Amino acid sequence: MSKATRMTKQKKVILDILRNTDCHPSADWVYEQARKLVPDISLGTVYRNLNVLRDSGHILELNYGSTYSRYDGHAENHYHFYCEKCHQLFNVKIPVYEGLDKLVKETTGFDVKNHRMEFYGLCNDCKASLSSSSSM
Amino acid sequence: MSKATRMTKQKKVILDILRNTDCHPSADWVYEQARKLVPDISLGTVYRNLNVLRDSGHILELNYGSTYSRYDGHAENHYHFYCEKCHQLFNVKIPVYEGLDKLVKETTGFDVKNHRMEFYGLCNDCKASLSSSSSM
DNA sequence: TTACTTGCAAACGCTTTGCACGCAC
DNA sequence: GTGCGTGCAAAGCGTTTGCAAGTAA
């Protein structure tokens, strides 16, 4: 399906970083981490590889909630929660409703391949810091 | 909840445009339409008002699927379908699962306020143009 | 009158890209 | 050896913002 895709040191490092984190980092964060292992890696290379890995289905690009994309090294579909105060992304551990794709396919006639769902609100820490009036 | 919010000619025009279209336009498209009614309106004003209207809950900002935001003048929650070929956004007419917010609230403990869902795939036109091999 | 809103244009921030060199295959 | 991937830096592009003038309340 995709082009040759040569496995370079840089691409391997980027994929490893994403696979071994449970947060949903920005391209810049990945770049900072990658520099510890490949000091002369460039930000352009990070972006290029993130796009390649996204296109080949190895990672997810999450582009809601803020002005920049975040990436997720776990490509199986799952839902996310976005905290509107601290802007963190969390995984939501409820089952993915596969049947929804079929329902929408029947309703619209479109060729539905997958779906995404994001929940919005306040995470535990931010909820607490609000209810205790001002925390500092 | 929000500031004074003065009703200006510009803000009214922008809201009217969004209320009276069934597509999900970009800021630039809104700007082009608004110029027909207020010729000397500026793009900065369009962006400022879109943000004000979004913050006051009058419109939705949809920022998935591409590098720029689209806007929806119908603020009640509903789901969307994004065509990966022609990049159009469509409304999906299935009921909104309000219970999901409660489920996630119970699962995570977070203060869940709302959720969004987007389906991805090919719309009817793009599906047809693919199945007929190459249309040109 | 007051201070929110505007038009203009410059600046901003994230992302992409052109180029020549380097390296995986 | 071939041509895809890289580092570097500049450009691209959607969006935001500082400022002085305009205008809704």
Helix crossing, A27-37 with A9-19: angle to 10°? 120
If one compares A80 and B135, the residue with the highest pLDDT of the two is A80
Give mean pLDDT, residues B95-120: 96
Residue A2 Cβ under 7 A from any strand D atom: no
Tens-digit pLDDT profile for residues B74-104: 999 899 999 999 999 999 999 999 999 999 9
pLDDT at B134 over 70: no
Tokens (6 digits) for B116: 């969004």
CA proximity to A81, closest of B71, B51, B109, B58 = B109
When pLDDT is cut at 50, 70 and 90, the band that residue B131 belongs to is low
CA-to-CA distance for B68 and B66, rounded, in angstroms? 6
Shortest CA gap B56–chain A (Å): 15
List the single residue in A64, A104, A123 with the smallest CB-CB distance to B94: A104
**pLDDT tens for each residue of chain A, 136 residues long:** 445 689 999 999 999 999 999 999 999 999 999 999 999 999 999 999 999 999 999 999 998 878 999 999 999 989 999 999 999 999 999 999 999 999 999 999 999 999 999 999 999 999 888 766 543 3
In angstroms, rounded to a whole number, what is the distance separating the alpha carbons of residues B110 and A81? Answer: 9
| pLDDT given at position A55 | 94
Residues A55, A25, B62, A67: what is their CA dihedral angle, to the nearest 10 degrees? Answer: -110
3-state secondary structure of A110: coil
Chain A contacts of B47, Cβ < 8 Å? Answer: none
Q: Which residues on A lie below 8 Å from B89 (Cβ)?
A: none
Residue A50: other Cβ atoms inside 10 A: 22
Strand partners, B112: A121
The confidence band for B132, taking pLDDT boundaries of 50, 70 and 90, is low
pLDDT for residue B48 is more than 80: yes
At B100, list the tokens. 């999901």
CB A18 within 8 A of CB A73: yes
pLDDT tops 80 at residue B20: yes
Does A116 touch chain B if contact means CB atoms closer than 8 Å?
yes
At B66, the pLDDT band (50, 70, 90 cuts) reads confident
**Confidence band for B65, pLDDT divided at 50, 70 and 90:** confident
- Both tokens assigned to B42: 């500026």
Q: Give, in degrees to the nearest 5, the angle at Cα A72 between A19 and B93.
A: 150
For residues A57 and A8, give the distance between their C-alpha atoms in angstroms, rounded to a whole number: 17
CA of A70 to C1' of D11 (A): 23
Q: Is the pLDDT of residue B109 over 90?
A: yes
Q: State the pTM of this model.
A: 0.91
For the four alpha carbons of B3, B8, B12 and B15, in that order, the dihedral sign comes to negative
> B29: pLDDT confidence band, cut at 50, 70 and 90?
very high
Longest dimension (CA), chain B: 56
Mean of the per-residue pLDDT values for chain B?
92
- Asked whether residue B6, judged by its CB, lies under 7 Å from any atom of the DNA or RNA strand D, the reply is yes
